[in-house]
Chain A
Amino acid sequence: MSEVIATNQTILVVGGGIAGMTAALEAAECGKQVILVEKNPSVGGRVGQLYKYFPKLCHPKCGLEINLRRMKANRNLRLLTMTEVTAVTGEAGNYQVSLRTQPRYVTENCTACGECARAVEAEFDNEHNFGLGKRKGAYLPYSLAYPMRYVLDPRIIGTDDATRAKEACKYDAIDLDMQPQETQITVGAIIWATGWRPYDAARIQPYGYDRFANVITSVEFERMADPHGPTGGKLLRPSDGKEAKNVAFIQCAGSRDRNHLKHCSRICCMATLKQTTYLRDKYGDDFKASVYYIDIRAIDRIDDFYQKVRADENVSFIKSKVASITEDRETGNPVLNGVDTEGYHRYSNPHDLVVLAIGMEPSVPAGEFPVDVVLNEEGFVQQDEANGAFFAAGCSSDALDVNRAVQNATASALRAIQVVNRVAGTEV
């Protein structure tokens, strides 16, 4: 890796999801020097894992592609993948940041031909698909990965698989001797865009995510709907691979709950409404979706979308927080038990598949930040003067949808630009 040159007029962006990419690009396109670090082998983050966006139901890959083009075209932006921030010291306008880059074992010679993946035998859970399905020990993170380079799983290093991968490569792009690399840089401002992760569904004990095969999360359902996903776009029950046509969606799974996440995760209602349209797309009139909810929080312009789904006769809305899920042993059907609020009817409804509209929590838990930072009760980074020139962007600042995350990231870019302008003495 060539040397990273950074000064106190450089902006560091941590996290290469949609918010981090946006913040980095906005700042770089304003002429600022930007370093974007991403922990994973590819940028794209959670957006790269989505099948469609609400409410327009367009494909996220399209928006990502535009950003990737902007990145390729910009000389002010330096991307470091497989890199994490390990320590931050200093103050606004002058931070010393330690970075650790994990070895990819694949150099820039890689043409993404895929010969190494064919040669390697070992398989691991596919992180991009939330562990649904497997990928090889030498792999491309996903079809739109950027940089478009393969990566070797560290678990195959030192095995015959690693040697096989190296021998298969026609471009001499595999370097098995790569070591983790420590880098120290100086930057003027930090944009923290580490994003979110789905709440651990197994902790919602009564829903039995860890006990019942046919209880899955909304992010897993999203991957299933994707033609590039683990099931090739088919909505299949994990227990027996049958098509799921009678699907229940449970809202506020982990959100708005003092036992789990106190906050409303904001995206889950819309995610569910969107996912009911996947069922209609796949099966026409031959499906049933049941949405169990406390209240549907589709706000502003997305209320129109809600009304559209509401008008779909195959989608029913049951106002009730499901109390527990049991399983019909014979059929493998999850059975939802509870009492509805509109009439207090007790129900025990079997479904083919249950999708938990899982809540959003910050990727970096409180106590694991490399620097002192003011967090709110829910663990999101607060807008606070005590944070100096450490600005949160996207879902590290709050539970946001893509639209709001991008707006928020642009605002953070502006805040960071103000800091480096002050350092440069060019502030007007």
Chain B
Amino acid sequence: MSDYNQQMIEQFRGNFLKEVESNVEEGEWVKMCMQCGVCSGSCPFGPHWAHPPQEIFMMIREGEREQVLTSDSMWMCTSCYNCIVRCPRGLPITHIMHGLATYAKRLGLAPKEQPTAKFAQLFWDNLTKTGRVNELKLGLALYFMNGFSEGIKTSLKMKDIGLGMWKTKRLNPMEMVGGHSCKDTKGLQAILAKAQEIEDAKIGRSGA
């Protein structure tokens, strides 16, 4: 658990709703939820996640901080926006879910083995190297996400699709070495470093 997490626990002293309102993007909307449940019923993920949005919002009000922040629910959101479209009070539910995911990650509470969270990290690491997504490397990283033998198995299964994409010039095997990049990779990385510095200062994580 990070210092930042400890700091927030002390600052908000059990008032998790207030913490969400101050720290989570669009978090000030949470108290507007009237618990009608149309979001939960409209979610295409149906029963496949621990806490539907309506329940997450109630848990926030109840102050179930750890349960909310370690939940995999907000990582399951596919951004289909069904909930936003149907919410009778116009809550930006999708955005709140993403805001909660970001906040949980920042606090170091995001579930470690959650596939979408893992993929998001892989995507980010891949993208920030050159400023361009290296699809070949990202794809392979995804195959090997759950271990070496499963990676080999998936790669063999996907081999024909890969070859087909190569033939139609949709995939370049040379991407394995280096790969294409944006014009000013150094400049991009400087921007990201600065952003990280601002973020760290904001959450009081000096020298991280």
Contact = CB atoms under 8 A, between A and B. Distances in A.
Given A256-B88, A258-B89, A339-B54, A321 B38 contact: yes
Interface stretch (B14-22, B41-49, B64-72, B104-112): B41-49
A341 B86 contact: no
Interface in A281-295: 294
Contacts of B85: 259
A206 B38 CA distance: 11
B47 A341 contact: no
Interface of B is mostly: loop
B37 interface: yes
B55 interface: yes
B34 interface: yes
Contacts of B34: 294
B36 interface: yes
Chain B interface bracket (under 10, 10 to 19, 20 to 34, 35 or more): 20 to 34
Contacts of A341: 35-37, 54
B89 A321 contact: no
Contact of A322 (B41, B46, B52): B41
B36 A320 contact: yes
Contacts of B88: 252, 256-259, 321
A258 B54 CA distance: 18
Given A339-B52, A341-B54, A323 B40 contact: yes
B90 interface: yes
Chain A interface bracket (under 10, 10 to 19, 20 to 34, 35 or more): 20 to 34
Interface in B81-125: 85-90
B36 A337 contact: no
A340 to B, nearest CB: 7
B37 A206 contact: no
A346 interface: yes
Given A258-B89, A258-B90, A321-B88, A346 B46 contact: yes
B146 to A, nearest CB: 29
A321 B90 contact: no
A269 to B, nearest CB: 14
Given A323-B38, A339-B54, A341-B35, 12 more contacts: A258-B87, A258-B88, A258-B89, A294-B36, A323-B86, A337-B41, A338-B37, A338-B38, A339-B37, A339-B52, A344-B40, A344-B52
Report, nearest first, the 9 A-B pairs whose CB atoms are least far apart: A323-B41, A338-B41, A321-B36, A339-B40, A257-B88, A323-B42, A321-B38, A258-B90, A294-B36
19 contacts: A206-B42, A258-B87, A294-B34, A320-B37, A321-B36, A323-B37, A323-B42, A323-B86, A338-B38, A339-B37, A339-B40, A341-B35, A341-B54, A344-B37, A344-B51, A344-B54, A346-B40, A346-B41, A346-B47
